[in-house]
A and B are shown apart, each in its own frame.
Chain A
Amino acid sequence: MKRLTFNRKLFALPYGVLSALFVIVPLLVLLYFAFVDGDGKFTFENFADIFSKGTIKVLFYSFGVALLTTVICLVIAYPLAMILANSRFNKSALLVMMFILPMWINSLLRMYALKNLFIELLQIDTGFFMVLCGMVYDFFPFMLLPIYTIFVSMDKSLIEASYDLGASPIKTFFRVKVPLSMPGVISGIIMVFMPTVSTFAISDILGKPENIMFGNLINYWFTKNHWNLGSAYAFFLLILIGITMIISSKLTGGKAKATTGGIL
């Protein structure tokens, strides 16, 4: 009997080996590159460069854009998710599907479409505004989906209980619905905030040179063959992502998941 269960676990072995080779080792290689200079000597210089004035400026600009993107996405997605999950307003899954559909369209294609719309049809050509629209356009479904999922699976009897105990709709909203939806909101924030900081294609296509994000800097060092600097920047980003993941799992007790699961 013991041998039999042992066998089934073995099915995980191929991925165990592959992931060690193609996920863990590449990250270690990245770490190595981040800590050496061009001649292969150990150095902290690459990381020190992140705290230079120009980079810090881009970093804070990126955080600003990401914060704005996240807030805009949240403000639109939250009521939308509530409406879509409410059977009084919406009974068809098709409508929800329509909101998620653009996610499957190549993101560069969508940015190209947006650029066309702005520049050629609306005659608007402002870097910051266009980049912001592009970010919201690209990441919106990632905010909508987790919040929608949590509203659909929310225990309706808790809301009824709140009404039965005499709470007003407003009080029920703030004291019952909002707290219950927090894991979805936090998932959404994770899936919008850090990806916005690390993107470079959207700002490249829609923005002007002054609208660069932290992701553009990483890309820049690699196109200029400064691999060690680029690696340090990338590793710094990885640490930031790690921190946000830890904070979010602490906040929600591991309920928030940064995945696009359950779409299909």
Chain B
Amino acid sequence: MIRHEKLKKVIALTFVYITLILMYVPIIILIIYSFTESRTIGNWTGFSVQLYINMFEDPEIMGALTNSVIIALASSLLATAIGTFSAVGIYHLRKAPKVYMDTVSQITMVNADIVTGIAFMLFFLIIKVIPDGFGTLIIAHTIICIPYVIMSVTPRLTQLNPNLYEAGLDLGSPPIKTMLTVILPQLIPGMIAGFALSFTLSLDDFVITKFINGDVDTISTYLYTKIKVKGVQPELRAMSTVILLAIMLILVFINVYNKIKKNKTTSR
């Protein structure tokens, strides 16, 4: 019986690790071959960091990276601010207004990117106020990220003492100030999760961006045109590795932060 149990465990874990390896093989190969100069993968021409040097000297790549970070930062900050306030408001809404808010955020989350992207494109085209570029991208990304912030913040609200807000008002603090000094500090973990989710959503987005980017290239649109038009450019491997490492660092940071936070609360 014990041997049977052990065998089951071995089979189960083998399955887990094979799937995991399959998921990581393409990424790892890309990283390995970013340290050689050859044009094609599979042809190792000796260790070199030349691709990295080329990449950091390439104005197009650096421009796309900077644009992506600016847009992701701006839209996730905006989305976190608006989303947090909305989460508090929606939490206290009832009936029709609540149904409206829930439906709108659900539509935003489940709608196909291509439909959202086209709708934005036609909308910006018709109102003719904002030319395609940073403005349209930041607006669109913010709108797409808000529901995810609401979703991250709402669980914290349910754990909140419902009398806190009233206590603040009773003691003479105006609503905005009560919100900022009493409610908000309690929501910070949810806000951080929402911000991180928004940041990666914005950084990752290609489809919506493609329809409204004007002549502003982000990492995604840059990658797409390069992969499609010019064929595979070896510098992209270095760029991928840098982005990968950056994302992994952020994730490790978030995890460590959460662990510390958890230890603090359990030791109390």
Complex interface bits, B201-221 against A, C-beta within 8 A gives 1, otherwise 0: 001101100010000000110
> Shortest beta-carbon distance, A130 to chain B, in Å?
12
On chain A, which size bracket covers the interface?
Answer: 35 or more
Residue of A with least CB distance to B100: A16
Complex interface bits, A1-14 against B, C-beta within 8 A gives 1, otherwise 0: 00011011111111
Contact A105 B27 (CB under 8 A): yes
Question: In whole angstroms, how far apart are the Cα atoms of A140 and B244 in the complex?
Answer: 19
Main secondary structure, interface of B, reads helix
For residue A161, CB closer than 8 A to chain B, the reply is no
**Which chain A residues numbered 186 to 243 have a C-beta less than 8 Å away from chain B?**
190, 194-195, 198-201, 204-205, 215, 218-219, 222, 227, 230-231, 234-235, 237-238, 241
For residue A177, CB closer than 8 A to chain B, the reply is no
Contact B227 A112 (CB under 8 A): yes
Q: Report A-chain residues with C-beta under 8 Å of the C-beta of B240.
A: 109, 112-113
> Shortest beta-carbon distance, B191 to chain A, in Å?
11
How many pairs of A and B residues are in contact by the CB < 8 Å rule? Answer: 243
Asked whether A261 and B152 contact (CB < 8 A) given A11-B179, A12-B86, A26-B123, the answer is yes
Question: Can you identify 26 A-B contacts, CB atoms within 8 angstroms?
Answer: A8-B88, A12-B88, A15-B89, A20-B104, A24-B104, A26-B122, A26-B123, A80-B15, A84-B16, A90-B16, A97-B251, A98-B20, A104-B200, A105-B247, A106-B203, A107-B206, A115-B232, A116-B26, A116-B29, A116-B33, A137-B23, A190-B110, A195-B112, A198-B112, A200-B207, A261-B151
For residue A174, CB closer than 8 A to chain B, the reply is no
Complex interface bits, A232-264 against B, C-beta within 8 A gives 1, otherwise 0: 001101100100010000000000001111011
Residue of B with least CB distance to A82: B12
Q: Counting chain A CB atoms within 10 Å of each CB, which of B12, B101, B150 scores highest? A: B12
Question: In whole angstroms, how far apart are the Cα atoms of A114 and B22 in the complex?
Answer: 11
Residue of B with least CB distance to A77: B19
Q: Report B-chain residues with C-beta under 8 Å of the C-beta of A18.
A: 82, 143, 146
**Which chain B residues numbered 71 to 113 have a C-beta less than 8 Å away from chain A?**
82-83, 85-86, 88-90, 92-93, 97, 100-101, 104-113
Partner of A83, one of B12, B90, B122, B248: B12
Question: In whole angstroms, how far apart are the Cα atoms of A25 and B193 in the complex?
Answer: 29
Main secondary structure, interface of A, reads helix
B interface residues, how many (CB within 8 angstroms): 88
For residue A23, CB closer than 8 A to chain B, the reply is yes
Q: Counting chain A CB atoms within 10 Å of each CB, which of B148, B152, B207 scores highest? A: B207
Question: In whole angstroms, how far apart are the Cα atoms of A27 and B203 in the complex?
Answer: 24
Residue of B with least CB distance to A111: B227
Complex interface bits, B3-27 against A, C-beta within 8 A gives 1, otherwise 0: 0000001001101100110011111
Chain B contacts to A: CB under 8 angstroms: 9, 12-13, 15-16, 19-20, 23-27, 29-30, 33, 40-42, 82-83, 85-86, 88-90, 92-93, 97, 100-101, 104-116, 118-123, 126, 139-140, 143, 146, 148, 150-152, 165-166, 169, 175, 179, 193, 196-197, 200, 203-204, 206-207, 211, 219-220, 223-224, 227-228, 232, 236, 240, 243-244, 247-248, 251, 254-255
Q: A89-B12, A108-B224, A234-B115 are in contact. List 12 more A-B contacts (CB 8 A).
A: A16-B86, A16-B100, A22-B140, A83-B16, A86-B12, A102-B24, A105-B27, A109-B243, A113-B29, A121-B42, A140-B23, A201-B224
Contact A25 B92 (CB under 8 A): no
For residue A151, CB closer than 8 A to chain B, the reply is no
Question: In whole angstroms, how far apart are the Cα atoms of A199 and B111 in the complex?
Answer: 12
User: Top 8 A-B pairs ranked by shortest CB distance?
Assistant: A12-B89, A11-B89, A26-B119, A198-B112, A26-B123, A113-B26, A15-B86, A264-B193
For residue A178, CB closer than 8 A to chain B, the reply is no
Q: Report A-chain residues with C-beta under 8 Å of the C-beta of B200.
A: 104
Contact A29 B123 (CB under 8 A): yes
